[in-house]
Amino acid sequence: MNSFELEEKEDEQMSKKPVHEIRMGRIKAAIWENSTPNGSLFNVTISRLYKDGDQWKDSTSYGRDDLPLVGKVADLAHSWIFSANHE
């Protein structure tokens, strides 16, 4: 793969949107679908939303009180992926 093809692939991945999102308070799980010759594979990113001045940002660092919600959105993401693979 040459550098142009690599850049094109990175641009495609950055413009891709999650197939599903789960949000509880400021904790969000984004579910991403990757098509393969053997079917779809799913990955999950979990982030914490926060406001910096007037701008919303996200982080992958969690405080003590965030952890129960991280577990809950992870569980819901697992359930969603499991049902999507068995429809």
Domain boundaries, the chain: 19-85
Q: Pinpoint the alpha helices (H) of the chain.
A: 3-15, 67-85
Residue 67 sits at φ, ψ, to 5 deg, of: -60, -40
Integer-rounded Cα Rg, in Å, for the chain is 16
- CA 2: distance to chain centroid? 28
Is residue 32 within a helix (H) or strand (E), and if so which, with residue range? strand 27-36
Residue 1 confidence (pLDDT):
55
12-67 confidence digits (pLDDT tens): 555 689 999 999 999 999 999 999 998 899 999 999 999 999 999 999 999 999 99
Greater confidence (5 vs 55) lies with 55
